């Protein structure tokens, strides 16, 4: 039976055109980018060409773009630098952040490097901007605000400009985990009040193992990883040459296809919502799926029964890939911290379906039909 893959927020398939762009650097163009001979210069040129391409698409300066190993490394770098280099002694975040952020801020707090507070949530899972402003206005400490652009489990979109303007007003540093939106959402970083954003190629049909860290040109920080002078002395270690090339190619393809692909994927999401409501009783959708929400993600809660408690396992048996939340916590017994924070109903089982341009309505129909049988 053919597999149905509805877990694209966890990772996406590698686009054949991206693999084609990477192949020369996996084979004959293998020179170390730090070497001075032609093989090395050829590799260095590929990296800097990729950097310029990414910067142009995000409307940033090439000097603001740094390549890392993943979104987690990028967020760790930005958050740690805000505290250790930029003088932030207080951190404001939300209970819905990815663990790459939550565990980092908790670590800094436990070490005594910064105090920590969490912004209130609205009933639909959006950030309460009034509470954020209240917290910023009532602290004398220099503050880091770290809030994700789109939640990886429920899809809610943050008003980045609104948060950025508040941070500017109160002199705070703003970091946004944009791993779910780089490659899925247009950015204009020259006109966005943000100090750091992050990205990861495997979320938009690029390779795993390569990430992005944008550092605004007005920010000066120290390296997070020490060693050689790679990435303009900001990230030591031999560059992931073919990964960087793949990142740029995947972002170029995602940008070129954004209008058509986003409309198509949003249509699939809405179609699945309609079919689930039509065919299954007692379901609920988490977050704000028809409002300010990422078009790729749909979080669904089903009534808890003996059958539904084994839902993900049974979907897997029937070759359907979905998630109980973030892939990073899929093996954790306590389940999703995001769903616990916004949905206090213990009698529900939550599944995240996430889509890409390769999914079809026929797949949606097959999954809904299977859900009817399983529930």
Indicate whether 251 and 271 sit together in one domain. Answer: no
Per-residue burial over 4-14, b if 16 or more Cβ lie within 10 Å, else e, is bbbbbbbebeb
φ, ψ dihedrals at 354, nearest 5°: -135, 140
**Amino acid 309: pLDDT:** 78
101 and 158 within one domain:
yes
- The C-alpha atoms of residue 73 and residue 104 are separated, in whole angstroms, by 10
Are 241 and 302 found together in one domain? no
Q: What is the pLDDT of residue 307?
A: 75
Cβ-contact 240, 26 below 8 angstroms: no
**Among candidate residues 256, 277, 303, the one where a domain is terminated:** 256
CB neighbour list of residue 45: distance below 8 Å, 6 or more residues apart: none
Same domain, 97 and 121: yes
Q: What is the mean pLDDT of residues 190-197?
A: 98
- Give the pair of three-digit tokens for residue 319: 């070759």
Strand segments (E) across the chain: 4-5, 65-68, 90-93, 115-118, 143-146, 173-176, 196-200, 211-215, 284-285, 297-303, 320-321, 348-354
197 shares its domain with 344: no
Catalytic-residue membership of 328: yes
Q: Which of 131 and 1 is assigned the larger pLDDT?
A: 131
Is pLDDT of 289 > 60? yes
pTM of the model: 0.95
Give the tokens for residue 156: 């809610």
Same domain, yes or no: 198 and 285: no
pLDDT at 183 over 70: yes
pLDDT at residue 147, rounded to an integer: 98
> How do beta strands 211-215 and 196-200 pair?
antiparallel
Are 226 and 277 within one domain?
no
Task: Read off the pLDDT of each residue in 302-331 and give the average, rounded to a whole number.
Answer: 81
Confidence at residue 60, expressed as pLDDT on a 0 to 100 scale = 98
Domain count, the chain: 2
Question: 183 near 203, Cβ under 8 Å?
Answer: yes
| Residue 297 lies in domain | 4-12+257-374
Which residue is associated with the tokens 């990883």? Answer: 225
Q: What angle do CA 179, 152, 298 make, to 5 degrees?
A: 130
Give me the half-sphere count of Cα atoms (radius 13 Å) on the Cβ side of residue 276: 22
Closest CA to 278 of 175, 161, 369: 369
Among residues of the chain, what percentage have pLDDT more than 90?
90
**What is the reported pLDDT for 325?**
61
349: which residues sit within 8 A by CB, 6+ positions away?
301, 302, 303, 304, 308, 309, 311
Q: How far is CA 53 from CA 17, 70, 247, in A?
A: 16, 19, 10
Task: Give dist(CA 321, CA 260) in Å, integer.
Answer: 25
Of 256, 272, 290, the domain-final residue: 256
Say yes or no: 245 and 270 in one domain: no
**CATH code assigned at 223:** 3.40.640.10
Same-domain status, 267 and 249 = no
Q: What pLDDT is stored for residue 332 in this prediction?
A: 44
- Same domain? For 228 and 289 the reply is no
3-state secondary structure of 324: coil
User: With bands split at pLDDT 50, 70 and 90, how would you rate the model's confidence at 328?
Assistant: low
> What is the pLDDT at residue 334?
60
Q: Are the beta carbons of 157 and 294 closer than 8 angstroms? A: yes
| Average confidence (pLDDT) over 206-213 | 98
In the structure, what pLDDT confidence band is assigned to residue 335 with cuts at 50, 70 and 90? Answer: confident
Q: Which of 218, 106, 204, 96 is nearest to 158 (CA)?
A: 96
Percent of the chain with pLDDT over 70: 97
- How do strand 211-215 and strand 65-68 relate by DSSP bridges? antiparallel
Element containing residue 373 per DSSP (H, E): helix 361-374
Q: For residue 347, what is the domain's CATH number?
A: 3.90.1150.10
Which of 256, 287, 307 lies at the terminal end of a domain, its last residue?
256
Question: Of these residues, 88, 167, 321, 328, which one is catalytic?
Answer: 328
* pLDDT band at residue 1 using 50, 70 and 90 as cut-offs: low
94 and 21 inside one domain: yes
User: Mean pLDDT over residues 180-198, rounded?
Assistant: 98
Q: What's the pLDDT score for residue 345?
A: 81
Structure tokens at 248: 């740029």
Q: Are residues 299 and 222 in the same domain?
A: no
């Amino acid at each position: 039976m053919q597999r149905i893959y509805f877990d694209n927020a966890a990772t996406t398939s590698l686009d054949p055109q991206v693999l084609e762009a990477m192949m020369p650097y996996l084979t004959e163009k293998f020179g170390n980018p730090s070497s001075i001979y032609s093989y090395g210069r050829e590799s260095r040129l590929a990296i800097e060409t990729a950097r310029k391409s990414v910067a142009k698409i995000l409307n940033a300066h090439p000097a603001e773009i740094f390549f890392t190993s993943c979104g987690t490394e990028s967020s760790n770098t930005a958050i740690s630098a805000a505290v250790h280099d930029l003088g932030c002694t207080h951190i404001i975040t939300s209970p819905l952040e990815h663990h790459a952020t939550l565990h980092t801020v908790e670590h800094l707090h436990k070490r005594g490097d910064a105090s920590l507070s969490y912004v209130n949530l609205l009933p639909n899972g959006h950030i309460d901007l009034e509470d954020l402003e209240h917290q910023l206005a009532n602290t004398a400490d220099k503050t880091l605000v770290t809030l994700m652009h789109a939640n990886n489990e429920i899809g809610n979109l943050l008003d980045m400009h609104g948060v950025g303007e508040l941070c500017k007003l109160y002199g705070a540093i703003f970091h946004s985990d944009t791993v779910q939106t780089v490659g899925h959402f247009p950015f204009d970083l020259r006109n966005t009040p943000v100090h750091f954003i992050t990205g990861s190629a495997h979320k938009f049909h690029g390779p795993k193992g390569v990430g992005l860290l944008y550092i605004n040109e007005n920010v000066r920080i120290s390296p997070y990883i020490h060693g050689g002078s790679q990435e303009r002395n900001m990230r030591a270690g031999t560059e992931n040459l073919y990964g960087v090339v793949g990142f740029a190619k995947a972002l170029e393809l995602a940008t070129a296809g954004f209008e058509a692909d986003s409309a198509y994927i949003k249509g699939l999401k809405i179609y699945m919502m309609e079919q689930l409501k039509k065919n299954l009783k007692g379901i609920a959708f988490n977050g704000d799926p028809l409002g300010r929400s990422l078009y790729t993600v749909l979080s669904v809660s089903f009534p808890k029964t003996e059958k539904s408690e084994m839902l993900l396992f049974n979907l897997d048996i029937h070759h359907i890939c979905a998630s109980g939340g973030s892939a990073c916590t899929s093996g954790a017994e306590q389940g999703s911290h995001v769903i616990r924070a916004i949905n206090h109903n213990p009698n529900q089982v939550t599944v995240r379906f996430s889509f890409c341009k390769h999914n079809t309505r026929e797949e949606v129909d097959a999954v809904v039909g299977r859900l009817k049988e399983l529930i």
